[in-house]
Amino acid sequence: MILITGATGTIGSELVRLLAARGIPHRALTRDPSRARFGPGTEVVRGDYDTPDSLRAALTGVDAVFMVNVPGAAAPGAHDRTLLDAAVTAGARRAVKLSAIATGDPASGPFSQWHVPGEQALRDGTLEWTILRPTMFASNFLWWAPDIRAGRPVPDQYGGGAQGVVDPADIAAVAAEALLGDGHHGRTYTPTGPEALAVPRMAAALGTVLGRTLDTVELSTADNRARLLSIGIPEHSVDGVLEGLAFVRDGGNAVVTDDVERVLGRPPRTFEEWARDHKDAFA
């Protein structure tokens, strides 16, 4: 039995779909089961990191846990430690943590420290562990959809900086392998797509899928700041996010690995393949 935290989120929902398709017993954790939409093969359980008792119940009979932890009210690592303690108490053997590329690298800004304590808790603990540090998710670029549908240019937050943008489905597939397969204990993987792409090349790929040319427009730091505030990033976090954007602009995230291929035995999916799967959102 696999417990999937973050099961309603981007990566967790892909993992739920994948395990359900393979007929592997799994349990999807959410704070609100009434809002969750899963198929009949998925067991749903209520759970909240802020209510440790709910995690202990959710972990009953679980062999391995997929750990998703989002920045929020808790201190960095606190939710990871709560989940790990509950997993050990419940007798789980294995944990796979979703972390992030550049974790621990101060050059990428203060948010690079967010996953450091949680990763350390895994390394210091007694469970078999695997850490996934994926790069930028392709799904992040769904935010372009309103501009593209309205015929406006595609906004480039990254000043031409390239990234090995990865399909969330590939991250979930690597997670499934680490949860179920052998040889992944003690490994830290950095899943990326097959090539580093700046926004103009991503827009070109998306344009191919949509059958039209998409122009791009570079956002200034002031534009980026205004946008971050407009989507609800708290004022005190905006400078840190801007540091992360500058890191990308300066080439810090132009990283491509062969981790997806090594784990899955096939190349990672391209941004264009992801775009084809999500064409309707942009059309």
Ligand X SMILES: NC(=O)c1ccc[n+]([C@@H]2O[C@H](COP(=O)([O-])OP(=O)(O)OC[C@H]3O[C@@H](n4cnc5c(N)ncnc54)[C@H](OP(=O)(O)O)[C@@H]3O)[C@@H](O)[C@H]2O)c1
**Is residue 271 involved in binding ligand X (CB under 6 A)?**
no
The tally of CA atoms less than 13 A away on the side-chain side of residue 108 is: 16
Q: Which of 88, 100, 116, 238 binds ligand X (CB under 6 A)?
A: 100
Give the contact letters, 139-158, x = binds to ligand X (CB under 6 A), - = no.
Answer: -x------------------
**Is residue 6 involved in binding ligand X (CB under 6 A)?**
yes
| Spatial contact of 197 and 140, defined as CB atoms under 8 Å apart | no
Pairing label, strands 187-189, 128-132: parallel
Q: Which of residues 197-236 bind ligand X (CB under 6 A)?
A: none
Side chain identity, residue 164: G
Report the nearest approach of ligand X to the CB of residue 156 (Å): 16
Q: Which of residues 68-87 bind ligand X (CB under 6 A)?
A: 68-70, 72
Kindly tell me which of 7 and 169 has the beta carbon lying closer to ligand X: 7
**Is residue 9 involved in binding ligand X (CB under 6 A)?**
yes
Q: Which stretch binds ligand X (CB under 6 A): 97-105, 142-150, 232-240, 260-268?
A: 97-105
Q: Give the chain as a 3 state SS string.
A: CEEECCCCCHHHHHHHHHHHHHCCCEEEEECCCCCCCCCCCCEEEECECCEHHHHHHHCCCCCEEEECCCCCCCCCCHHHHHHHHHHHHHCCCEEEEECCCCCCCHHHCHHHHCCHHHHHHHHHCCCEEEEECCCCEHHHHHHHHHHHHCCCCEEECCCCCCECCECHHHHHHHHHHHHHCCCCCCEEECCCCCCCECHHHHHHHHHHHHCCCCCEEECCHHHHHHHHHHCCCCHHHHHHHHHHHHHHHCCCCCCCCCHHHHHHCCCCCCHHHHHHHCHHHHC
Report the nearest approach of ligand X to the CB of residue 134 (Å): 5
Kindly tell me which of 143 and 183 has the beta carbon lying closer to ligand X: 143
Q: Which of 49, 66, 129, 271 binds ligand X (CB under 6 A)?
A: 49
Q: Which of 136, 176, 197, 205 binds ligand X (CB under 6 A)?
A: 136
Give the residues across from 146 on adjacent strands.
Answer: none
Report the nearest approach of ligand X to the CB of residue 118 (Å): 9
Report the nearest approach of ligand X to the CB of residue 50 (Å): 5
Which residue is nearest to ligand X, using beta carbons? Answer: 9
Q: Which of 2, 3, 4, 11 binds ligand X (CB under 6 A)?
A: 11
Kindly tell me which of 89 and 212 has the beta carbon lying closer to ligand X: 89
Q: Which of 1, 10, 24, 125 binds ligand X (CB under 6 A)?
A: 10
Report the nearest approach of ligand X to the CB of residue 94 (Å): 19
For residue 181, give both structure tokens.
């397969």
Report the nearest approach of ligand X to the CB of residue 137 (Å): 4
Binding footprint of ligand X on the chain (CB under 6 A)? 5-12, 30-32, 47-50, 68-70, 72, 98, 100-101, 134, 136-137, 140
